[in-house]
Amino acid sequence: MRALERLDRVYAIGGGPGANRLGGSAEEQEAHDAVAAWMREAGLEVSVDPAGNLFGRLLGRRPELPEVWTGSHLDTVPGGGRFDGALGVVGGLEAVERAGQVERTLAVVAFRDEEGCRGRGVFGSRALCGVLGEGEAPELGRGGWLEPRPAAFIEVHVEQGPRLEEAGAPLAVVSRIAAMARGEVVFEGRPSHAGTTPMAGREDALVKAAGFVLRLRDAAAAVESAVATVGRLAVEPGAANVIPARVSVSVDVRAPDLERLEAVLAVVPGELIVIGAVEMAERPRAALLEELERLGLPALELESGAGHDAGVLAAAGVPAAMLFVRSLNGGVSHSPDELSAAGDIDQAITVLSEVLTRLGCGN
Ligand code: GLV
Ligand code: MN
Ligand code: MN
């Protein structure tokens, strides 16, 4: 199956173990170049916006109408999986090719730096919609869209959880995307000699950070369906015999709604970027559900705990929807063990291409 071969090609970029195409890296660029070549092979019109997002367009019979987009991202976390992001781009390209020319222009988009392992995440989609934060990529300007706003956006993505596997269903339509907060908290200490400074007189930034990590864990555990993660600590000066002077701590908090998110954020000293929970749009969501029914598949709807570019576009007013593909191996993701079945992927591409055709019909 061509989509799987292409996913393997993209997965091989950057070497193992796992996928290693961090946002902004040469490996992310290599993946964009490979996909751009496949887009050209398919006869699509290829372009790159000022934020580096890649577009492949199959021009419609009425190109003056707002376009219909599909896609996802090609960057990964360190040691990531084969499907997260890449499936939505590679599968989106297959679906557009299968759909062929319709009234509206169909576009496949690969957004930049969705994961934000080193930054705030969903960079490309936020830049596209003109909603970057203070100090982020000032050269891109503020407030304007980088491309004409589309009529709809559909993102295919692996579920990244166990619910479809447990339900014995290959696909599901996403109802809403959870609220999330991401950022950095810094703790300051007083550096001094590890061998000569008495324990009583120390001001150790890492000890302060450690207390915060535990408070954050307890705060999330106390709020239903909330989760919080510290995935990165940067300790300065970072020497075994110097009491830490400064520690920056990454903070990632998710919850089904803003109220629960804020209950966890109460223990975070500092400002994080907050993205509220967002509903997927009625029309594309209904079109996806109808297509599942037409194929005789269970018409399941699931909430997404993970963040996605579709959430950014939805928050910016684009009618957006998502199709989840069953994750195997207990739903593990952000790991080389991430797995989905060829048959499920093929069905997702079929559903997507039918829905792109319907949404692209011009009315
Ligand atoms: C994207 O993978 C996220 O962090 O939700
Ligand atoms: Mn993803
Ligand atoms: Mn991811």
Q: Which of 76, 334, 335, 338 to mutate to test the pocket of ligand 1 (most atoms within 8 A of CB)?
A: 334
Position in ligand 1 atom list of the atom nearest CA 77: 2
Residue 153: pLDDT band (50, 70, 90) is very high
Phi, psi dihedral angles at 78 (to 5 degrees): -65, 135
Q: Give the model's pLDDT for residue 343.
A: 98
Q: What is the pLDDT of residues 11-55, one digit of tens each?
A: 999 988 999 999 999 999 999 999 999 999 999 999 999 999 999
Share of the chain above pLDDT 70, in %: 99
At 139 the pLDDT is 87
- Residue range 168-200, pLDDT digits in tens: 999 999 999 999 999 999 999 999 999 999 999
Distance 202 CA to ligand 1 centre (A): 37
Angle between helices 86-99 and 2-12 (to 10 degrees): 150
Check residue 2 and give its pLDDT.
97
pLDDT band at residue 138 under the 50/70/90 scheme? confident
Kindly report, residue by residue over 276-312, the tens digit of the pLDDT: 999 999 999 999 999 999 999 999 999 999 999 999 9
* CA 245–ligand 2 middle distance (angstroms): 35
Examine the pLDDT at 117 and tell me if it is beyond 90. no
CA of 90 to the centre of ligand 3 (A): 16
Residues whose Cβ atom is located within 5 A of ion ligand 3? 84
**Sign of dihedral through CA atoms 343, 43, 49, 77?**
positive
Distances (CA, A) of 327 to 25, 115, 130, 253, 341: 27, 19, 32, 23, 8
Burial 106-123 (b: 16+ CB within 10 A, else e): bbbbbbbbbbbbebbbbb
- Say how many Å lie between the CA of residue 160 and the centre of ligand 2: 9
Query: What is the residue type of 66?
Result: P
